[in-house]
Chain A
Amino acid sequence: MTWAQRTTCSVLEQNSVEDELELSAVRHRPEGLEQLEAQTRFSRKELQILYRGFKTECPSGIVNEDTFKDIYSQFFPQGDASTYAHFLFNAFDTDHNGSVSFEDFVMGLSILLRGTVQEKLNWAFNLYDINKDGYITKEEMLDIMKAIYDMMGKCTYPVLKEETPRQHVEVFFQKMDKNKDGVVTIDEFIDCCQNDENIMRSMHLFENVL
């Protein structure tokens, strides 16, 4: 088919699709400022700032996974941040309804920026535990690790090898898996992190972000 034919065909199709979409635009408004202030550890001003940023990128009030991936990828232009963004999305979407509303977003940030170390570690464990069954297996950790390395992209020094994430996972499991049963539970994880001063220090790294 010549492109001209294709153009007219696509125009005809689009009319019907467009009309359907318009009537079902999804919007979401967050709860009031007072309620959010009570539920999170942010001050009023901080919530205002957060919301403005949120709303600019997602005027409809909710973030779906594609927008999330898109936003996160803009911070890592050299690599492919979509896999890690997918895991992040699942960690933020606490009620698993496929979209992150402003409340979910702010709750997550409240833990990450203002929570206790215990809460932060809990959140990190939840991020790594992809199927949320309470155990981190090697496969889950490998997925996460690959996602992190994917963000680096191709042009790195030294050149990224196929088995680098796997080796990193091995190191991680050696450190974390105390009873060597092949999975890391939340207690092992928290215990081990609390004994590692590097990790403890890095947990406080982003506290003054807002």
Chain B
Amino acid sequence: MCVLPFKETDKMSELTETQIESSDDELPEEVAFDASKSAALKSVKDALEAAKREKILLKEKRKKRQQLFQEQKKRKRLPQELLEEFDKEPQKQTGPSDNKCINKKVSTKPSDINKDKTKTGNMPKRISKSLPDSYTVMRIKDESAAKSLQQKAMDFIQSRLYGPGTKRTTNAELLSLKKKRGASKGAAVEFVNKKLGASQKARIARSNKRFIRQQKLIPF
């Protein structure tokens, strides 16, 4: 229960004001206990109702957001027909491409796959109507679990040796310092990026060739 002192004092001041208006000498008016009680209860009720309203508003907001996400997810998914195809039992199709399956990784939602208990590692035998014969369905989740530990290990080493906190410099700086302190002092080293403007250089070379050919400067 929250007490709202301001409202009460307002009420009190209202009451006292009326009193003052009437007369200073008179006895204070009897404020009925009921009136003040009801006023207090009303204020409490108002507060509770306001809290409830806020909760409802939040709920609605959350619902809307959830719906929006669902719709976005739906848009990303493959059409429902394809998913149903994958869920179906394998149909007996004798074809020359049975043995030559190229594993194509189709990224379906893991939650859908989890519901379907028939998804195991023995996927390559599945053939469905709409998929071309040489395509199969495979879970990515199985493969990624193994790789993640390796990736974690590599990231750990990389971050400890080359990540933030390590005092690293560039190879250009290393060579420049060598030249500066060497027996024959030289200028600092800066590496040329050959890839800069590669397309422009190629264009210029081509136009030069064309010009030379046009002017028949070199016997062809």
| Mutual binders A and B | no
